[in-house]
Amino acid sequence: MTLLYILISLLIISAVSLIGALYFAFSEKALNKSMPWLVAFAAGALLGVGLLDLIPEGITAIGNIALYYTAGGIILFLLFEQVLHWHHEHHHNCDECGNKKVIGYSVLVGDAFHNFLDGVIVASAFLVSIPVGIATTFAMLLHEIPQELGDFAVLIHSGFTKTRALWWNLLSALVAVIGGLVAYFALQSIQQVVPYIIAVGAGGFIYIALVDLFAELKTGKYLLARFGQVAVLILGIIAMLLVKA
């Protein structure tokens, strides 16, 4: 039953990659207007799961050492993003490349690795308990929506057709299912490792919320809109508390 929960959750998360199809129906301007509010809610959800769900689960299982692994998770995600950004900039500034699609494929490779880690985290959460797995899936789902829209826009800018961008994005997203399956079968025999992965995953969620998503919330033109985004962020945290309950 746990495996079924993992597969369904990861397939739902992967299907979010098809949200790029909204570019067919709506203008880019309309999507950009709604993006900050979605990002704010996603940031709150990730913080809620990381701080109020995954970290307490880790501490319950392995004690305060879980906090060290959470800090390690933050550093791990920072290093991953640094390498990814360096790789993108390296190709972007390469005059010999002469092909913008290199940037697009770099994004896909980076996303595939990131999605693999997402699959591992979701599987680990379900191995702790079904409610923790559901809360983790919900938070990740919200984070994936703005990320996938952004990735789709980058692929289009890199020279992909809308159809090719859509399907390549889906293929990259489905790597999460592989990560989930690998984690499920590997961790079944070494259950004692699960709390450590959960703690590292909490660090990843906190990093994404505070570094990636919060940066997007500091670009609002009007002060009232910025306060509104903080309110939506708090709603995201509350939503995670309700899911956990």
| Residue 153 structural domain | 2-15+39-244
Residues 179-187, mean pLDDT to the nearest whole number: 92
Instruction: Tell me if 171 is assigned to some domain.
Output: yes
- On whether residue 29 sits in a domain, the answer given is no
Written as six digits, the tokens of 212 are 């990636």
Backbone CA torsion sign across 211, 212, 213, 219: positive
Compute the average pLDDT of residues 63-90: 83
The one-letter amino acid code at 102 reads V
90-141 pLDDT, tens per residue? 555 554 444 556 667 777 877 888 889 889 999 999 999 999 999 999 888 8
In this predicted structure, which of 3-12, 43-52, 194-203, 223-232 has the lowest mean pLDDT? 223-232
Q: CA 99 → CA 37, 88, 103, distances in Å?
A: 34, 13, 8
Task: Provide the token pair at 41.
Answer: 């809610």
Q: How open is the CA angle 149-153-155, to the nearest 5 degrees?
A: 115
Q: Which residues have CB under 8 Å from 109's CB, separation 6+?
A: none
Q: What is the pLDDT of residue 28?
A: 66
Position 31 in a domain: no
Residue-level pLDDT at 90 = 59
Instruction: Evaluate if residue 152 carries a pLDDT over 50.
Output: yes
Residue 55 falls inside a structural domain: yes
What pLDDT score was predicted for residue 244?
66
User: Kind and range of the H or E element at 113?
Assistant: helix 101-128
The more confident residue out of 170 and 219 is 170
Distance CA 100, CA 58 (A): 43
- Whether 137 is covered by a domain: the verdict is yes
| Other residues' Cβ atoms within 10 Å of the Cβ of residue 27 | 10
Please report whether residue 71 resides in a domain.
Answer: yes
CA atoms lying within 13 Å on the CB side of residue 22: 19
| Residue 22 domain flag | no
| Lookup: tokens for 126 | 């379900």
Structure confidence at residue 179 (pLDDT): 93
Residue range 33-49: mean pLDDT, rounded: 84
Number of domains in the chain: 1
Position 201 in a domain = yes
**CA gap 49, 29 in Å, rounded:** 31
**Which pLDDT value is given to residue 95?**
47
For residue 74, pLDDT over 90 is answered with: yes
Kindly indicate the confidence band of residue 20, based on its pLDDT and cuts at 50, 70 and 90.
Answer: confident
What pLDDT score does 87 carry?
Answer: 60
